[in-house]
């Protein structure tokens, strides 16, 4: 990525209207407007649905016929966001891999605190398998809070008697709601969008009276033994950097096949800007390669 591209993205994020520590209803509307302002390509088909009594959005590319499913968990600090706000990114990954996306509209905090989101994620995966989808044709994909949710779901599957999916991709996952990672301090000011004080507001919204160090809330503290191959991507200019690096280290220590992919000098969720920054496009190409290699030949990639 050129220095000019980095500077433009940095300014967009520094000057954006979103205040993640602000009133949830107001910020949800701003977040939705920001991430849905650009129309999706005409060949992207979106179908609302329900699995396990949880609302979902199926996202497909016209002309692609695949058995492989990306079970997708959107970002938004557990308080904002929806499958529609992540549809730009999820449809891009679907196009690159020839897969279809089932995006989970999990309940949001503070109205629905932990464990609501995890319960919804588990219900959707259980219902997806019950519908006849093979676990080895499923990959979990999560962004930010959704990445942490995906990791927590993976760590819970064994105790719930469910098989692991083929693999998982975690974009800048929020995996430590105790906010104890060193980058929460060292990246302040370098991160163009987020500061720990406002992240803490959202963590409290989700955690409520529970222990933020509970592994089901902060999977960086979980036993990750038995998890499928992981690809964890992050940017070096984000306060959540240590949430990715520490999760990768824990996974490696627990004998999980893991790839930690850190792109220098880019912010949180830079992949969502793949149309304007080269590094985002390159990162998604690596995601597509990873998904293809672990989902195998069960789909017809475009």
pLDDT in tens, 140-179: 999 999 999 999 999 999 999 999 999 999 999 999 999 9
Please indicate whether residue 293 is annotated as part of the active site: no
Burial zone of 196 (CB within 10 Å; 0-12 exposed, 13-18 middle, 19+ buried): middle
User: Which one, of 268, 32, 300, 49, lies nearest residue 170 by Cα?
Assistant: 268
Across the chain, mean pLDDT equals 95
Query: How many other CB atoms are found less than 10 A from the CB of residue 131?
Result: 9
Collect all residues with Cβ–Cβ distance below 8 Å to 39 and sequence separation of at least 6.
none
Is 302 within a domain?
Answer: no
Q: What angle do CA 22, 24, 30 make, to 5 degrees?
A: 80
Distances in Å between the Cα of 212 and the Cα atoms of 157, 204, 208, 238 are: 20, 8, 9, 21
Contact in structure between 75 and 143 (CB atoms under 8 Å): yes
Is 269 within a domain?
Answer: yes
How many domains does the structure of the chain reveal? Answer: 1
Would you state the pLDDT for residue 297?
A: 53
- Mean pLDDT for 248-272 is 97
Q: Which of 91, 238, 244, 279 is catalytic?
A: 238
DSSP state of 45: E
Distances in Å between the Cα of 2 and the Cα atoms of 221, 264, 276, 278 are: 37, 12, 11, 8
pLDDT digits (tens, 9 = 90+) for 55-110: 999 999 999 888 999 999 999 999 999 999 999 999 999 999 999 999 999 999 99
pLDDT at 125 over 90: yes
Please indicate whether residue 210 is annotated as part of the active site: no
Q: Cis before residue 250, ω within 30 degrees of 0?
A: no
CA-CA distance, 282 to 287, in Å (whole number)? 9
Is 11 within a domain?
Answer: yes
Contact in structure between 165 and 194 (CB atoms under 8 Å): no
Sheet holding 230-235, edge to edge: 44-51, 54-61, 100-104, 69-73, 138-143, 167-171, 230-235, 258-263
Q: Is 178 helix (H, G, I), strand (E, B) or coil?
A: coil
Would you state the pLDDT for residue 209?
A: 97
Which regions of the chain does DSSP assign to beta strands (E)? 44-51, 54-61, 69-73, 100-104, 138-143, 167-171, 230-235, 258-263
Is 273 within a domain?
Answer: yes
By residue range, what is the domain housing residue 286?
3-295
Is 194 within a domain?
Answer: yes
Phi, psi of 20 (to 5 degrees): -65, -15
Q: Which of 66, 91, 103, 144 is catalytic?
A: 144
Assign residue 155 the CATH number of its domain. Answer: 3.40.50.1820
Is 76 within a domain?
Answer: yes
Is 301 within a domain?
Answer: no
Would you state the pLDDT for residue 62?
A: 95
Q: Is 75 helix (H, G, I), strand (E, B) or coil?
A: coil
> Which residue shows structure tokens 């520590």?
21
Would you state the pLDDT for residue 298?
A: 54
């Amino acid at each position: 990525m050129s220095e000019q591209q980095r500077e433009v993205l940095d300014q967009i994020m520094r000057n954006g209207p979103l205040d993640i520590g602000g009133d949830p209803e107001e910020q949800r509307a701003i977040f939705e407007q920001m991430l849905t302002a650009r129309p999706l390509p005409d060949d992207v088909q979106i179908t609302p649905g329900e699995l396990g009594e949880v609302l979902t959005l199926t996202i497909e590319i016209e002309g692609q016929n695949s058995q492989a499913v990306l079970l997708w968990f959107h970002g938004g600090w557990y308080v904002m966001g929806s499958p529609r706000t992540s549809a730009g990114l999820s449809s891009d990954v679907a196009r690159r891999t020839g897969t279809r996306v089932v995006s989970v509209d999990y309940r949001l905090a503070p109205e629905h605190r932990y464990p609501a989101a995890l319960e919804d994620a588990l219900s959707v995966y259980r219902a997806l398998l019950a519908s006849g989808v093979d676990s080895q044709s499923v990959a979990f994909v999560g962004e930010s809070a959704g990445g942490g949710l995906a990791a927590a779901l993976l760590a819970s599957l064994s105790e719930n008697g469910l098989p692991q999916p083929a693999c998982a991709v975690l974009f800048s996952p929020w995996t430590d709601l105790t906010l104890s990672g060193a980058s929460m301090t060292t990246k302040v000011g370098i991160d163009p969008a987020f500061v720990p004080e406002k992240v803490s507001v959202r963590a409290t919204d989700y955690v409520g009276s529970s222990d933020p160090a509970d592994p089901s809330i902060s999977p960086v503290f979980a036993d990750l033994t038995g998890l499928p191959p992981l690809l964890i991507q992050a940017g070096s200019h984000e306060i959540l950097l240590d949430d990715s690096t520490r999760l990768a280290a824990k996974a490696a220590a627990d004998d999980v096949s893991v790839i930690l992919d850190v792109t220098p000098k880019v912010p949180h969720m830079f992949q969502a800007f793949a149309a304007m920054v080269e590094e985002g496009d390159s990162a998604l190409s690596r995601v597509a390669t990873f998904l293809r290699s672990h989902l195998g030949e069960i789909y017809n990639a475009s």
